[in-house]
Each structure stands twice: as structure tokens, then as C-alpha cells.
Amino acid sequence: MSEQEINQFPRRTLVIELEKRNLSTSGDTHILKKRLKQNVDCSTKEVIQQSYEFLAIIDFEATCMENPPPPQHYVQEIIEFPIVLIDVTQRRIIDTFHSYCRPIIHPILSDYCKKLTRITQEQVNSAPVFAEVFANAEKWLNGRELLPFQKRKYLFVTDSPSDFNKYLRMQCNITNIVYPMWAHRWVNVKTTFSKFYSTRSGRIRNMLEQLGLRLEGHLHSGLDDAINIARIVIELIKKTTENVNGYRRWKRNLREWYVSTVQDLTQGLNAPVYDTKTNIDEMEHA
């Protein structure tokens, strides 16, 4: 479809073409023509090349109790640290990082935690402490040029604000590690999924079922959850890249979610956005 062809379209045709692309049909004929031209002048391949090259999925698992004491008396420590890497252009998982972490404050896992996560006491006993796992994870990211100021275009994805805003912040605080720059920017796939399907955001199993996919592995296994989140993301990419506007909508959802989340976190708070005290007690672990 060329610009010359669009210039010849009557208003009715412009409206039809815009509706196909889920674009606004408001405005006069001149505005509609301009809007349509802006959304048909590049291929899906070109859009992909201008967007994120990689998406890195993270889903931490942490120590937990069935009936925990108040948060000020019980610190949850990360015990599983997975990263699943998606190549956006190839639309597939291309690499993974995975390690268990040995907790220090509460070294003995509760029966509830072991049943929920399927992580054994032996696995955490033989695992490195978080500081070492964190260093290994950053080395892994660096080797794939996925750290700030490197050339790759990437974004982290999770399915809950708790992963970064609660568990990673809390763990960095108790381990005396500076909260990493790469963890300042991420997207919640539940929110993106909800916007895409105009529905309430669901849990991993619900999103998989809506996409016609089966759950692989076990829920609350960090690596299994990260892989299933990656499968959801890949399916969303496939569906939204069926046309150029779809991929733009995916990009726009990521940007809109990030902006709205920052606004939500900063509203009414005296602390900076990335302060470790930011509503930790109110975060929900999915």
C-alpha cells in the first residue's frame, strides 16, 4: 500500500484500514490518511530491528513460611535465581542462567517452602551464597552484552513487581550489594497480557490456557516459571507481529506500563522510586 494509494482512499476505506490495525478512527480525512501512512510504511522485520533484541525473563523464589510473622520480623531470602533469554527476532529461548542460593538468615527451609518450591534442603546447602550467585549472574549478562551501556537492546520481564521491588531489593540490602542498574527497568507480563487481551491479568496458568498452551514443569519452580513466562511472551510476540501495528502496540504497552508503574510507585511516597523501602510489605508474590 503506497502513499499515493492512501491519498486516493475515501474516508470509509481509511476507517476500515485503520480498524484492521486497531488504530483510532477519530479526526478528519487528512488526519486519518496521515495516521494510516505512519503505520504501513515499514515491514515487521524493520520494526523488530528497531525494538528490543532480547527479553530476559526473571522469576525469583524466596524462603517462605505458611504463617509468617510480620515482615519486620521475617526476612525472605532469594533461594533460586533463574534468567531465561529470548531472542525477539527468532522468537525463541536461546539461553538460560540458573542457580540455587544458600540462605544465611534462615538457612533451614520450612516444610511449606520445600513443598511449594520443590527445592530441597540439600540443594540450598550445597549452593553458593547470594553474593556469589549475583556475581555469576552479572558475569553471564555481561558475556551476552546485556548490561547497561552495552550495545544490545534488551528488557527484563517478570510476572510480578515483587521479583525486583521486593525480593531483589531486600536481598541486595541484607547482602550489602548496590541495587543493580539493570534491574531499574523491567516489564510485568501480566499487565502487558491484560492490555493486549483487554482482560484482567491472570496468573501463569491462566495466561497459558488463554493462549492454548500447557503448563510445563511446576508452578513456583523459579526456572519452570521463567520458562513458562517466556513461552507466554513468545506467543504474544507471534500474535502481535502478524502486522506492523501489532508490534508497535507491544512496544507501546511496554512503555506505557513502565511509565504508569513509576507514577504509581512514586505517588504519595517520600522515598525515591528505587528506595528499598518502597511498599515492600504490600507487594504480592505471584
Provide the mean pLDDT of the chain: 80
* Residue 1 confidence (pLDDT): 52
Q: Strand 61-62 and strand 54-58: pairing?
A: unpaired
Q: Read off the pLDDT of each residue in 134-149 and give the average, rounded to a whole number.
A: 92
Give percent of the chain above pLDDT 70: 76
Q: Read off the pLDDT of each residue in 204-212 and give the average, rounded to a whole number.
A: 91
Give percent of the chain above pLDDT 90: 45
* Residue 79 confidence (pLDDT): 98
Quick check: is 149 in a domain? yes
Q: Read off the pLDDT of each residue in 51-78 and give the average, rounded to a whole number.
A: 90
Give the pLDDT band (50/70/90) at residue 42: very low
Q: Read off the pLDDT of each residue in 30-38 and give the average, rounded to a whole number.
A: 79
* Residue 113 confidence (pLDDT): 97
CATH number at residue 185: 3.30.420.10
**Can you say whether the dihedral through the CA atoms of 14, 17, 19, 22 is positive or negative?**
negative
Give the pLDDT band (50/70/90) at residue 20: confident
Instruction: Read off the pLDDT of residues 147-200 as tens digits, 9 standing for 90 and up.
Output: 877 778 888 999 988 999 899 999 999 999 999 989 888 888 888 888 777 777
* Residue 196 confidence (pLDDT): 76
140 with 266, same domain: the answer is yes
16 with 147, same domain: the answer is no
Instruction: Read off the pLDDT of residues 62-75 as tens digits, 9 standing for 90 and up.
Output: 999 999 888 778 89
23 with 90, same domain: the answer is no
Q: Read off the pLDDT of each residue in 9-25 and give the average, rounded to a whole number.
A: 81
61 with 126, same domain: the answer is yes
Quick check: is 46 in a domain? no
217 with 273, same domain: the answer is yes
Q: What are phi and psi of 94, to 5 degrees?
A: -115, -15
Catalytic residue, chosen from 17, 77, 80, 220, is: 220
Domain of residue 36: give its range: 3-41
Quick check: is 47 in a domain? no
* Residue 22 confidence (pLDDT): 66
Count of the separate structural domains present in the chain: 2
* Residue 117 confidence (pLDDT): 97
136 with 220, same domain: the answer is yes
Give the pLDDT band (50/70/90) at residue 274: very low
Q: Is 98 a catalytic residue?
A: no
9 with 144, same domain: the answer is no
33 with 60, same domain: the answer is no
Q: Is 132 a catalytic residue?
A: no
120 with 206, same domain: the answer is yes
* Residue 254 confidence (pLDDT): 61
Catalytic residue, chosen from 17, 61, 77, 235, is: 61
* Residue 259 confidence (pLDDT): 52
141 with 12, same domain: the answer is no
92 with 227, same domain: the answer is yes
Q: Choose between 218 and 17: higher pLDDT.
A: 218
262 with 192, same domain: the answer is yes
Quick check: is 15 in a domain? yes
